[in-house]
Amino acid sequence: DLEKFDATMVLDVRNKTEHKAGHVPGSYQLSGGRLMWHLDELPAEGTIVSYCQSGVRNSVAASALRRAGYDVVELDGSYAAWNAWQTSVPAV
């Protein structure tokens, strides 16, 4: 559950169009293919929770970030699962 997780950054590694169409609130968009050229935009310390649409691109991006020394946790099920969960939760 993202609300209970102390993430320094929630990182959306999908492209800008996908992010604009819907994203986890407060997430930072940075396309997975450009990630390694924009490390200066990532927090130097703390945990990054990353996601893409289904998990494939995210797996590659998270692995690259871990090799670069970042603490990365992949959002289980990525955006598709998060969005399905959001739409199934009754409003309180």
What is the average per-residue pLDDT within 47-75? 93
Find out if CATH 3.40.640.10 is the number for domain 2-88.
no
pTM of the shown model: 0.85
Say what the pLDDT of residue 13 is: 96
Say what the pLDDT of residue 56 is: 87
Return the closest-CA partner of residue 19 out of 48, 55, 63, 52: 52
Within 13 Å, how many C-alpha atoms sit on residue 69's CB side? 5
Where do the domains of the chain lie? 2-88
Contact (CB, 8 A) for 6 and 50 = no
